[in-house]
Amino acid sequence: MLDLGVLAAAAEQVTGVLGDQPAPDAIEARRMQALSLAVHIPIVCFGIAFPAMILFVHGLYLRTGEAHFKALAKRWSKVALTLFAVGVVTGTILSFEFGLLWPDFTATFGEVYGVAFGLEGVAFFLEAIFIAIYVYGWDRLPRRTHFLTGIPIVITGFFGSFCVIAVNGWMNHPEGFGVENGDVVDPEPFNAIFNGNLWHELIHMYLAGYIVAGFIVAGVYAAAHLRGKRDAYHRTGLVVALSFAALAAPAQVIVGDWAGRTVTKDQPIKLAAIEGLPTTTKGAPFTFGGWYDAENNTMNGGIEIPKLLSVLADHDPNATVVGLDTVPPEDRPPVNIVHYSFQIMVGIGTLLAMLGALFVLTLWRHKRLPRSKWFYRGVVVAGPLALVALIAGWVTTEVGRQPWIVYEVMRVEDSVTSSDGLELGFAVLVAVYLLLAVAVAWLLRRLSAQSPEREVVHR
Amino acid sequence: MAEICLGLIFVGLTMYAVLGGADFGAGFWDLTAGGDRRGGPVRGLIQRSMSPVWEANHVWLIFVLVVSWTAFPVAFGAVFTTFLVPLFLAALGIIMRGTAFALRGQAATIKEARVLGAIFALSSVILPFFLGTVLGGIAAGAVDVADPAPSNDAWTSLVAITAGVLAVLTGAYLSAVFLAGDARRAELPDLERAFRARALGIGVVTGAASIGALFVLRSDARPLYDGLTSGAGLAAVIASVAAGIATLALIWTWRFGLARWTAAAAVAAVVLGWWLATRPDVLPGLPLDEAASPDATLTALVISVALGLLLLVPALLYLYRLVLAGTLSQGYEPLDQQFRPTDGDGS
Ligand code: HDD
Ligand code: HEM
Ligand code: HEM
């Protein structure tokens, strides 16, 4: 069913409560925001998924008492602690940017979405406390207590993601407030948190965390496997990390389909941009590739598969799909970016799902690891590919939301800071993040170069 | 409700000033510890004391930010617009400091540790300075709530700079007191003596600077000065001075355990005094009821934070108990010694 009403529903827009200083630098601000997110999000994938993997191996150790399980769990927990520190600082930057780059967004809507961040603060607080206790507690706390202090890390990681995604879902599907004469009234924070985009985004992102972290970690051990390191320690690292990723990858396709149908319903223009659909069409085709011409609102080139889009979007070959022509050009997102990001994500997602299924099936049918060298090479590249899919997915969601910061309620231009000279800030930030990347890469190499035995020696 | 939320912000600020401030101060002592050989013991102690707690301490800042933008969104937006430059610099400092500290724990050679340590230590001094200038600028009334615009005068005024310097000194002072106590618990008499001397020295300097700061307020931020020199504000100032003197006396007599608490109280009383002196305004010229979000938001926030605190407080107590009992402490080693022939595991 199509509800064209949504397009007109938010006729009344909000320009913000702070004064009307001219805002020259929306593009720079967007680049800064996007860059900072693109740094933070991959790191927090480890915050989401690593604790569960560590506890799994830790549990194996408690059951069997075998030293290589302990060595692996301990090694991983050190990596997790450092990545957590980087997650904390890059997340803090994002919090600052809410004020620095988008003061009017925060000033106007803080009362609506802020409570989610209040809860997020609590979650990350608990996470910081327990990760310190857990990692520094190796060989110092009683065995059971030590294992138990790891469990809150998993829970708070999930809950923290829940809170942030609630905000992002809300920006895409704003609820829980009214607009009167351009002012925001009657905030209902809990309705804002439980918005229509929350669940699919949360589950999709949570699975993405397992896919990204799982494949990247597995890639390290797959590379070792190719170099001939096949002892119990390396095998466990490979199997555990890969199992998490391999189970999440096929599920991700199903959740992605759910996400797509929700977008069709609630953000038809985003969907039209994702698919590059210029005009509203009954029985719409699916277009591979192609190039959107914004002047003429046409899609050039590309391979069309008849009716497939209607099937995907609505599970009905004759469904009508809304096109870009239903809104004026200034309300359309940059179509090509969104279209290609989406296709990259789906392409990679399909490959990863196949790789994961292959692994699970081999393990299940033959009770052994795949033998082909190509499988291990595949796992090595799967990590970087998953990272690309992750960023591509976020670009789809966020750029597809443009030109709105709060979908159909507030425009990005109205929320951005009035400062100029952000170019300099952007350049500095790029430099700092590059340093950060180098430092983290250096650390991971350092850790993987040390022999695992040292983790077992009591210090 | 609005009053409770403002109270939460000040509690968060106090915790951050005390705990986060002490971590910044540790960076100050790291910076001034001298060459590898001479500074090694000091740096080793700092690494050992800070490692398990600094992330939790840092979260108080996040807490302050999120409560501010939820409960007082307009004030938050106006402050962040006005102080774009120092806040951006502070944000950079946060990245550098956290990362460098976390990585130093894994350094394998003295050269790596030296570079990472320098980054950590320098940013630990710069960061509180910039945050301090923001607080000073706010106190001096530099934020135009109606039509805020980025302003460099706002954070380079005399009041702002003074506040920045005070922030650095206060952190160093707290840190010296805390580290003296840590050195005693780690049974390192040399370091105990070293930090006792530092605590006494910096305590006197900080006290003198605070008195100087009052004169700056008197000429450039008169409303705040009046608030601090009358009524409840004055009581808080007196309490702070008393706690400061008590701390010096306790340190003089080698009672670091108690000094830890009085030093924290001296800082807390200043924050409290600031709150009392500016009540009921959130920013100078912006009264509480105008600044606050609607009640539905405030209620939701207070409920969320209250529920959160039910979990947080026991967890925090557990962490600090383990830390103070030494359970989580890694073996102490002077930082430079970790890199002798056996490539020691810094963790
Ligand atoms: C490893 C990462 C990864 C993989 C393999 C996939 N996705 Fe994805 N996708 C994301 C990671 C991601 C994400 C975490 O980056 C996003 C951004 C916002 C969100 O909730 O998840 C996303 C968003 C996102 C959206 C937009 C949601 C919105 O705007 O509300 C759709 C429609 C899809 N995805 C669909 C898919 C499909 C059909 C996939 C299957 C092949 C797929 N994704 C695989
Ligand atoms: C105040 C909140 C936010 C603002 C103002 C904001 C705004 C923006 C803007 C303007 C862009 C760039 C779009 C473009 O280039 O055209 C962007 C990109 C992005 N945003 Fe948001 N966003 C916010 C919150 C979030 C949240 C909560 C998330 C995730 C949870 C998120 C994830 C992303 C990602 C991943 C990108 C693209 C990264 C890339 O281009 O590499 N954003 N955001
Ligand atoms: C605009 C968006 C975002 C903001 C403002 C933000 C803010 C923060 C902050 C302040 C922290 C540090 C918490 C601490 O001190 O412990 C943090 C960490 C974290 N964030 Fe984000 N974040 C954003 C986007 C995301 C996204 C998209 C996710 C993914 C679901 C996410 C998940 C996490 C997790 C799991 C951590 C814990 C640190 C770790 O495990 O590495 N955040 N974030």
Ligand nearest to the CA of A159: 3
ipTM: 0.79
Is A182 touching B (CB cutoff 8 A)? Answer: no
pLDDT in tens, A65-109: 787 888 888 888 888 888 888 888 888 888 878 777 777 777 777
Q: How far is B71 from chain A (nearest CA, A)?
A: 6
DSSP A326: G
For every residue of B242-311, DSSP letters joined together read: HHHHHHHHHHHTT-HHHHHHHHHHHHHHHHHHHHHHHTTEEETTEEHHHHSPPHHHHHHHHHHHHHHHHH
* B322 neighbors B328 (Cβ within 8 angstroms): yes
Q: Where are the alpha helices (DSSP H) in A315-421?
A: 335-366, 373-401, 412-415
Specify the amino acid at residue A396.
T
- Tell me the C-alpha distance between B283 and A251, whole Å: 50
* A151 neighbors A52 (Cβ within 8 angstroms): no
- Tell me the C-alpha distance between A443 and B243, whole Å: 44
- Tell me the C-alpha distance between A237 and A387, whole Å: 20
Count of other CB atoms within 10 angstroms of residue B183: 25
Which of the four pLDDT bands, split at 50, 70 and 90, describes residue B268? confident
The pLDDT, as a whole number, for residue A210 is 93
Ligand nearest to the CA of A42: 3
pLDDT in tens, B44-89: 777 777 777 777 778 888 888 878 877 777 777 778 778 888 888 8
- Name which residue sits closest to atom 9 of ligand 3, judged by CA: A91
The mean pLDDT of A311-339, rounded to a whole number, is 78
Half-sphere exposure of A403 (CA within 13 A, CB side): 13
Q: For residue B166, give both structure tokens.
A: 């005070």
- Tell me the C-alpha distance between A326 and A281, whole Å: 11
Q: For residue A263, give both structure tokens.
A: 């977008």
Q: How far is A319 from chain B (nearest CA, A)?
A: 41
- Tell me the C-alpha distance between A114 and B304, whole Å: 11
Which of the four pLDDT bands, split at 50, 70 and 90, describes residue B347? very low
Distance A104 CA to ligand 3 centre (A): 22
State the best of A17, A96, A440, A450 to mutate against chain B, taking most chain B CBs within 10 Å.
A96
Cis before A250 (ω within 30): no
Which of the four pLDDT bands, split at 50, 70 and 90, describes residue A386? very high
Ligand 3 contacts CB of residue A252 (under 6 A): no
- Name which residue sits closest to atom 24 of ligand 2, judged by CA: A168
Model confidence at B265: pLDDT above 90: no
Give backbone dihedrals phi and psi of A303, rounded to 5 degrees, phi first. Answer: -105, 125
Percent of chain B with pLDDT over 70: 82
Give backbone dihedrals phi and psi of B49, rounded to 5 degrees, phi first. Answer: -75, -40
A342 vs B51 pLDDT, higher one: A342
pLDDT in tens, B152-210: 776 777 777 888 888 888 888 887 778 777 777 777 777 777 777 777 777 788 888 88
% helix / strand / coil in chain A, to the nearest 5?
70, 5, 20
- Tell me the C-alpha distance between A206 and A200, whole Å: 10
The pLDDT, as a whole number, for residue A9 is 40
Q: Give first-to-last CA distance, chain B, whole Å.
A: 45
The pLDDT, as a whole number, for residue A453 is 60
Model confidence at B345: pLDDT above 60: no
- Tell me the C-alpha distance between A282 and A284, whole Å: 5
A148-152, A274-278, B291-295: the lowest-pLDDT one:
B291-295
The pLDDT, as a whole number, for residue A450 is 66
Ligand 3 contacts CB of residue A124 (under 6 A): yes
Full 3-state SS string of A194-250: CCCCHHHHHHHHHHHHHHHHHHHHHHHHHHHHHCCCCCHHHHHHHHHHHHHHHHHHH
Which of the four pLDDT bands, split at 50, 70 and 90, describes residue B340? very low
What Å distances lie between residue B181 and B52, B184, B257, B258, B334, CA to CA? 16, 5, 6, 9, 17
DSSP A14: B
Distance A168 CA to ligand 2 centre (A): 9
Which of the four pLDDT bands, split at 50, 70 and 90, describes residue A359? confident
Is A59 touching B (CB cutoff 8 A)? Answer: no
pLDDT in tens, B322-332: 777 766 666 55
Supply the mean pLDDT for chain A: 79
Model confidence at A188: pLDDT above 60: yes
**CA closest to B115 among chain A residues:** A439
* The model's pTM: 0.83
pLDDT in tens, B209-242: 888 778 777 777 777 777 777 777 787 788 788 8
- Name which residue sits closest to atom 20 of ligand 1, judged by CA: A201
Q: Which helix (H) or strand (E) holds A317?
A: none
Model confidence at A154: pLDDT above 70: yes
Give the residue carrying structure tokens 């391979």. Answer: A303
Residues of B in contact with A93 (CB under 8 A): 91, 94-95
- E strand spans, B262-320: 281-283, 286-287
Which of the four pLDDT bands, split at 50, 70 and 90, describes residue B334? low
